[in-house]
Structure 1
Amino acid sequence: MGRLQDKVTVVTGAGRGIGRAIAEKCAAESATVVIADIDPDTAAATAKEIGEPAMGVRADVTSRDSVQAAVEEVTDRFGRIDVLVNNAGWDKAAPFVDSDEADWDRIVAINLFGTLHTTKAVLGHMVEQGSGAVVNIGSDAGRVGSSGEAVYSAAKGGVISFTKTIAREVARHRINVNCVCPGPTDTELFNSIGGDRPELRQALTKAIPFRRLGDPADLAGAVTFLASAEAQYITGQTVSVSGGLTMS
């Protein structure tokens, strides 16, 4: 029996990268996993690879209507949602003075408003159940800043503050809300914002006490712990998974 036995667990942006690793780990912990992704084909393929009773749904987290439709699809099939992992994210790196305001909108829409949309759609179900767990994926950029990621840092800082406030609001309903903040992690998104440059990878690896970039599986372990009954008395916390690059 796994730590998430029969827990209906929705993971956004779960078709690839960190989200996929989280979904796979949750499934390994016996959760009923819902792969929510803007690409329905990727969501369906990932769910198929994980196996029954995993389910793929299309969800554009920037759209309240899309999120609401996805949540209704999940509750119609399973009757409940026990865990929500707000993982969907996007960034485009550039010095702030050179950044494009259209990119600001997209960064904030996905990283911050996406978390608001999904949490609003799911939280009412958890309140009615009298139980639940929400794990938001923040970023150490939102804790300590990151050059070239000003707007992303601001959005993720908002996710961290949102986590603490919602944790206070829903604690009486036995819902815990926590935030996991990755450091530099070896993903497609990381490569798309410059992480594929050998000199950057080498410099980051040297700066990280564990002397390696994060792996998506590193994040998945922290998320599944916070989603499990083992963390039922932990709420409003921010946990960095960065190999010691940032410490507090």
Structure 2
Amino acid sequence: MLKDKVAMISGSASGIGLEIAKVFLNEGAKVVFTDIDQDKLDHVVQSFQTKNFECIGIVADVSDEEDVKNLVNQTVKHYGRIDILINNAGLQHVANIEDFPTDKFKQMIDIMLVGTFIMTKYVLPIMKNQQYGRILNMSSINGLVGFSGKSAYNSAKHGIIGLTKVTALETAQDGITVNAICPGYIDTPLVRGQMEDLAKTRNVSINQVLDEVLFPLIPQKQLVDIQEVADYSVFIASDKAKSVTGQAIVIDGGYTAQ
């Protein structure tokens, strides 16, 4: 469904971003991996290039405007276009508000919300010129509901949904769709780290976090399969979803249905 489309994916050296990149490559897309970790990025890109997949890696801090300008310019220079942007870069820290370091709060907002804005800002002119584009912003169920201890993450993910809707309205007649994906709890390094933090704040084990904190909130009593998020991303990025825009798409095992 994505043959020869050029997809730029932030935070793609691991986790959800990496899984989406794998599926996009298998669908025939040309992938621009971007991440702040040079070593991880090089390893991932080389592993795909040796299998003859079409991809490149460009190091960038999405919260740094000059980094993003360079990322976009290099991509256009190499591939001539950008068809798909996936704003996925993120991080987590769990602490009650009075114990939450202000610098960490600002960093999380800068990377997840301001970074999404900056990436969108510099990719949009290219997509408008093409009269074609797909933007997927990685939000979360925590962009829809609150969760104690996650003030920065919730603030950023709620903001991403608002930004998604505004961007969708501003590009509605430019052949561009803009959507947010809101996954529930997925078994990724980020979520595992989150569970460790939750275990510490509640003085329980990780298994107890699953059984006593998370699973009571999830009707299906299971973590979301990362493959589901990647597969759904392919659909939203394809021409089969050309009328889907401005939406916060939830994949959460029923978490927000209650």
**Normalization by structure 1: what TM-score?**
0.95
Q: What value does the CA root-mean-square deviation take over the aligned residues?
A: 1.4
CA drift at 1:76: 0.5
CA drift at 1:145: 1.1
Counterpart of 2:175? 174
Instruction: Name which of 214, 224, 239 aligns with 1:214.
Output: 224
After superposition, what is the alpha-carbon deviation per residue over 1:154-181, rounded to whole angstroms, capped at 9, x for unaligned?
Answer: 1111100000010000111110000001
- Kept in 2: contact 1:44–1:55 (CA 8 A): no
Counterpart of 1:34? 32
Counterpart of 2:125? 124
Counterpart of 2:257? 247
Residues 1:185 and 2:183 aligned together: no
Change (3 A) 1:55 1:201: same
Letter in 2 for 1:64: E
After superposition, what is the alpha-carbon deviation per residue over 1:96-116, rounded to whole angstroms, capped at 9, x for unaligned?
Answer: 122110111111011101101
Counterpart of 1:24? 22
CA drift at 1:121: 1.3
Letter in 1 for 2:208: E
Number of matched pairs: 246
Over alpha carbons, which structure has the higher Rg? 2
- Kept in 2: contact 1:82–1:131 (CA 8 A): yes
Counterparts of 2:242 and 2:184 in 1: how far apart (Å)? 25
Letter in 2 for 1:80: R
- Kept in 2: contact 1:35–1:44 (CA 8 A): no
- Kept in 1: contact 2:183–2:250 (CA 8 A): yes
Counterpart of 1:50? 48
Counterparts of 2:221 and 2:149 in 1: how far apart (Å)? 23
CA drift at 1:187: 1.2
Which region of structure 1 is more displaced relative to structure 2, 157-166 or 46-55?
Answer: 46-55
Counterpart of 2:96? 95
Counterpart of 1:65? 66
- Kept in 1: contact 2:143–2:155 (CA 8 A): yes
- Kept in 2: contact 1:7–1:31 (CA 8 A): yes
Unpaired stretches in structure 1, ≥5 consecutive residues: none
- Kept in 1: contact 2:2–2:27 (CA 8 A): yes
- Kept in 2: contact 1:135–1:180 (CA 8 A): yes
After superposition, what is the alpha-carbon deviation per residue over 1:74-132, rounded to whole angstroms, capped at 9, x for unaligned?
Answer: 11000000000000011201111221101111110111011011111111100000100
Letter in 2 for 1:87: N
CA drift at 1:206: 4.6
CA drift at 1:193: 2.2
- Kept in 1: contact 2:24–2:31 (CA 8 A): yes
Counterparts of 1:46 and 1:202 in 2: how far apart (Å)? 34
Unpaired stretches in structure 2, ≥5 consecutive residues: 200-205
Counterpart of 2:203? none
- Kept in 2: contact 1:208–1:245 (CA 8 A): yes
Counterpart of 1:111? 112
Counterpart of 1:229? 239
Letter in 2 for 1:200: V
Identity among equivalent pairs (%): 36
CA drift at 1:218: 2.0
**Normalization by structure 2: what TM-score?**
0.92
CA drift at 1:50: 2.5
- Kept in 1: contact 2:25–2:54 (CA 8 A): no
Residues 1:161 and 2:162 aligned together: yes
Counterpart of 1:198? 207
CA drift at 1:228: 0.6
Which region of structure 1 is more displaced relative to structure 2, 165-174 or 37-46?
Answer: 37-46
After superposition, what is the alpha-carbon deviation per residue over 1:190-236, rounded to whole angstroms, capped at 9, x for unaligned?
Answer: 12222571111223235322221123222111211111111011100
Q: In structure 2, the residue corresponding to 1:155 is in which secondary structure?
A: helix
